[in-house]
């Protein structure tokens, strides 16, 4: 059994501006401790071992899909963790996640014997790695039998910023804690989000998947053959350059852009064993906003989360990040303050989703 | 008639931290436009000419008292205005204003024939220079007759942060708009400040004086002879070095430290012609706090006063100073934000007087 971590690190969000930038996205930032989100994504698999009556396996070296212009940063961060030889699939342009995963699956399938891929976004946080690892056992059982496995996060509130997965009937024959999937739901309005929460049948879609390479490729052949064929060409005509595998840009450009959810998952959600969800409570966050990042930090007695050289007087419930110079605060509350060498953000917590407005104006 | 501007530039306040620092005090900062407060202090005399039936006079070159370690900054800023030869009296240590003015008066008296000195703090703002110049005519008339003249600012509110001057009987024989002085009052409590305001008899003490050098020296001989004698030695044993006159440090060290008000003015306030006050409404501010500075600026439609590269979204009634990097604000109000290369202040307006707490902790 081949287990391959697949890390999708192509994102370029700016929701954590001014820390995250187009050329320096969230996954490459050290937001909390000594590691970046990308490094945490790989490190949380450390020590994992799958054991069944017939087999035992650990994760092989990861495959990382990322953009060309981030390749050295990504390689440097992965290399800093030690471990085995890296393989970076370089996306010639941004095409969302489905083409990236397709190229990785083709590459995996060629080099290994239909491995089981654990597909993970590079820019999420999971505080309880043990819970995640524990859920992986059932997921591997299910994926080994050909199912596509998603991980569902029990919602903490009526969030309108996430997609939801509705569980169907139990699928204990496939994986002890697994359910068939009754449906995928995009970001809901507030009323729907409350209904989802109250029903107890919905989970946040964390965008983490466990599946055989062949399962992905077969689903793609069925639902999005144009993505499959162009990605096959992009890999066939790609070039290896040390740790980097460069997809053929002309072929890749021909592929439609699409997300994993839209291209495949929504079509598989027919309450059959083709797609199952495994619920897992693991302190997951997409770190998609400053308040979300704040929730991951350690609050002091005044409710502040502080990074850097900060003097806080009469200051409450604020996120204060100033690694590069002294920040002094006096008589403030509920603020997000982020200082970088060339830009400074000061936002009320309730307004911090509007960072996009600032980025758009720049 | 010799008219000499005397600028007291020895202050080292930190109430505008992080812009003002021990080694870079408020008077040397360009807080508003193209000039520093020190430069504005001198420039507001431009074009002034005193005319009476018998004489006509303009201001001679200024004498500036400042600390040794600020001498080059002060000289550079004065020289940038063009004008005549500068003379800087260097204070070997901080002794408050009375010894500084005493040394200047001795130096003036030796070099000119008992000149009339216009004594001005270097770190105040006056928006209406014409009103100030207009008041100077009466002040010169009074000072020429031996009176000490103070300028009284009609209070704009029950301020507890200023000293007050209570007017006595009119002294129109001395100066058309002058009053004798009934008393000097230090910073009052809130109830007293309200009484002062309601009475209409009190003015803010702007710390600006017009007086003959001999009037100061005679008053000092009467009330503080120890300051006078030690300052006489400090000047006698001082050394000229180009534009700089270095007071003798050992002699100066022997002088008691005291303010002009405590050492002399309070003793002269006996409702006689020895001390008169000339009321003048001239947009005066001591620029003693961030909100005070904000009042001097041009508010935009949202009530913000902005300097530098600032993107303000849904931001109200805030002072935003960021000359060195982009500042983006979102959903904030009533904040003071001051960005410098090595320190950043974010304070609620109501708390900004507590900047001292920050400076004390540094």
Of B219, B305, B311, the closest CA to residue B270 belongs to B219
The pLDDT value given to residue A41: 97
The size of the A-B interface in CB pairs under 8 A is 114
Q: Does A293 touch chain B (CB under 8 A)?
A: no
Mean pLDDT of all residues in B20-33: 86
State yes or no: pLDDT of A85 exceeds 80: no
Report, as an integer, the average pLDDT of A130-148: 96
Check CB contact of A121 with chain B, cutoff 8 Å: no
Q: What is the end-to-end Cα distance of chain B in Å, rounded? A: 49
Residue of B nearest to A333 (CA): B348
Instruction: Provide the percentage of residues in chain B whose pLDDT is more than 90.
Output: 85
Strands (E) across chain A are located at 3-8, 50-51, 56-57, 63-67, 87-91, 116-121, 125-126, 148-153, 164-170, 179-185, 202-212, 239-241, 244-246, 275-279, 284-285, 305-313, 319-330, 335-339, 343-348
Instruction: Give the separation between CA B291 and CA B35, rounded to whole angstroms.
Output: 20
pLDDT band (50, 70, 90) for residue A21? confident
Burial class (CB in 10 A: 0-12, 13-18, 19+), B189: exposed
Query: What is the structure's pLDDT at B30?
Result: 87
User: Per DSSP, what are the bridge partners of residue B128?
Assistant: none
| Distance between CA atoms of residues B345 and B358, nearest Å | 9
Q: Nearest Cβ partner of A346 from B337, B351, B355?
A: B337
Q: Give A337→chain B minimum CA distance, Å.
A: 9
Residues of chain B in contact with residue A350, where contact means CB-CB under 8 angstroms, are 331
Residues of chain B contacting A309 with CB distance shorter than 8 Å:
none
What is the per-residue pLDDT for A254? 98
Region A249-259: what's the mean pLDDT?
A: 98
Distance from CA of B132 to the nearest CA of A (A): 36
Contact B354 A330 (CB under 8 A): yes
- Residues B145/B276, Cβ–Cβ less than 8 Å: no
pLDDT at A32 over 80: no
Query: Quick one: pLDDT at residue A216?
Result: 97
Residues of B with CB below 8 A from A316's CB?
A: none
Per-residue pLDDT reduced to its tens digit, B328-361: 999 999 999 999 999 999 999 999 888 988 888 8
Contact A115, A242 (CB under 8 A): no
Q: Does A356 touch chain B (CB under 8 A)?
A: no
Give the whole-angstrom CA distance, residue B349 versus residue B306. 15
H helices, E strands: number in chain A: 12, 19
Tell me what the mean pLDDT of segment B209-220 comes to.
97
**Alpha-carbon gap, residue A194 to B235, rounded angstroms:** 82
DSSP-derived pairing of the beta strands B148-153 and B116-121: unpaired
Alpha carbons A222 and A188: distance in angstroms, whole number: 28
What pTM value is reported for the model?
A: 0.87
Three-state secondary structure along B67-106?
EHHHHHHHHHHHHCCCCCCCEEEEECCCCCHHHHHHHHHH
Which of B330, B344, B346 faces A332 most closely, judged by CB atoms? B346
Q: Tokens 């077969």 map to which residue?
A: A218
Interface of A with B in 5-24 (CB under 8 A): 18
Chain B residue numbers touching A20 (CB-CB < 8 A): none
How far B328 CA sits from the closest chain A CA (Å)? 5
The stretch B182-191 carries a mean pLDDT of 94
pLDDT for A84 = 67
pLDDT mean over A88-100 = 96
Q: What is the mean pLDDT of residues A218-232?
A: 97
- Cβ neighbours of A362 in B, within 8 Å: 311, 326
Q: How confident is the model at residue A34 (pLDDT cuts 50, 70, 90)?
A: confident
| Chain A nearest CA to B329, separation (Å) | 5
Indicate which of A309, A328, A341 best probes the interface with B, i.e. most B CBs within 10 Å of its own CB: A328
Q: What is the pLDDT of residues A306-340, one digit of tens each?
A: 999 999 999 999 999 999 899 999 999 999 999 99
Tell me whether residues A342 and B351 touch, CB distance under 8 A. Answer: no
pLDDT of amino acid A31? 85
Q: Chain B within 8 Å of A351 (Cβ-Cβ)?
A: yes
Residue A353: what pLDDT?
82
pLDDT in the model for residue B167: 96
Residues in chain B closer than 8 A to A347 (CB atoms)? 328-332
Specify the pairing of strand A244-246 against strand A87-91. parallel
Q: Tens of pLDDT along B236-287? A: 999 999 999 999 999 999 999 999 999 999 999 888 899 999 999 999 999 9
Beta-carbon separation of B328 and A358 below 8 A: yes
Of all residues in chain B, the percent with pLDDT exceeding 70 is: 99
Interface test with A, best of B331, B350, B353, B357 (most A CBs within 10 A): B331
Indicate whether B85 pLDDT > 80: no
How far is the alpha carbon of A340 from chain B, nearest alpha carbon, in Å? 9
Chain B interface disruption, residue of A289, A344, A353, most B CBs within 10 A:
A344
pLDDT tens, B101-130? Answer: 999 999 999 998 899 999 999 999 999 999
Q: Which residue of A has its CA nearest to B353?
A: A330
pLDDT at B84: 67
Q: What is the pLDDT of residue B272?
A: 87
Q: Rounded distance, CA B163 to CA B265, Å?
A: 12
Instruction: Provide the pLDDT for residue B352.
Output: 81
Q: Which residue has the tokens 């804690």?
A: A177
**A332, B335: Cβ pair inside 8 Å?**
yes
Of A18, A326, A361, nearest to B342 by CB-CB distance is: A326
- For residue A62, name the pLDDT band (cuts at 50, 70, 90): very high
Cβ B277 vs Cβ B170: under 8 Å: no
Query: From the CA of B296, how many Å to the nearest CA of chain A?
Result: 22
Q: How many residues does chain A have?
A: 362
β partners of residue B5: B118
Query: Do the Cβ atoms of B330 and A342 come within 8 Å?
Result: no
- Tell me what the mean pLDDT of segment A123-134 comes to: 96
Mean pLDDT over residues B48-57, rounded?
A: 93
Q: Check the CA dihedral A323-A328-A333-A337 and report its sign.
A: negative
């Amino acid at each position: 059994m081949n287990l391959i971590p697949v890390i999708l690190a192509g994102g370029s969000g700016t929701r954590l501006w001014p820390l995250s930038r187009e050329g320096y996205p969230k996954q490459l930032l050290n937001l909390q401790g000594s590691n970046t989100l990308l490094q945490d994504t790989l490190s949380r698999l450390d020590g994992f071992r799958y054991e069944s009556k017939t087999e035992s396996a650990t994760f092989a070296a990861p495959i990382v899909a990322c953009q060309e212009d981030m390749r050295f940063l990504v390689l440097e961060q992965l290399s800093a963790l030690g471990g085995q030889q890296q393989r970076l699939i370089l996306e010639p342009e941004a095409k969302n996640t489905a083409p990236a995963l397709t190229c990785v699956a083709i590459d995996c399938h060629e080099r290994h014997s239909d491995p089981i891929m654990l597909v993970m976004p590079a820019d999420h946080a999971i505080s309880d790695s043990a819970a995640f690892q524990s859920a992986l056992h059932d997921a591997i059982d299910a994926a080994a039998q050909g199912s596509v496995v998603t991980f569902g996060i029990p919602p903490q509130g009526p969030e309108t910023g996430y997609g939801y997965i509705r569980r169907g009937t139990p699928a204990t024959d496939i994986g002890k804690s697994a359910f068939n999937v009754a449906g995928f739901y995009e970001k809901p309005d507030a009323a729907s989000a409350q209904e989802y929460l109250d029903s107890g049948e919905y989970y946040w879609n964390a965008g983490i998947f466990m599946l055989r390479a062949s399962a992905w490729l077969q689903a793609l052949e069925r639902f999005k053959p144009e993505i499959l064929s162009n990605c096959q060409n992009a890999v066939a005509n790609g070039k290896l350059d040390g740790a980097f595998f460069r997809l053929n840009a002309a072929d890749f450009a021909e592929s439609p852009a699409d997300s994993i959810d839209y291209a495949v998952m929504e079509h598989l959600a027919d309450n059959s064993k083709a797609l199952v969800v495994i619920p897992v409570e693991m302190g997951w966050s997409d770190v998609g906003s400053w308040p979300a990042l704040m929730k991951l930090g350690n609050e002091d007695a005044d409710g502040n989360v502080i990074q850097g050289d900060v003097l806080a007087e009469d200051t409450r419930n604020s996120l204060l990040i100033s690694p590069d110079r002294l920040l002094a605060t006096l008589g403030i509350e509920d603020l997000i303050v982020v200082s970088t060498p060339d830009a400074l953000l000061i936002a009320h917590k309730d307004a911090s989703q509007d960072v996009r407005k600032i980025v758009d104006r720049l």
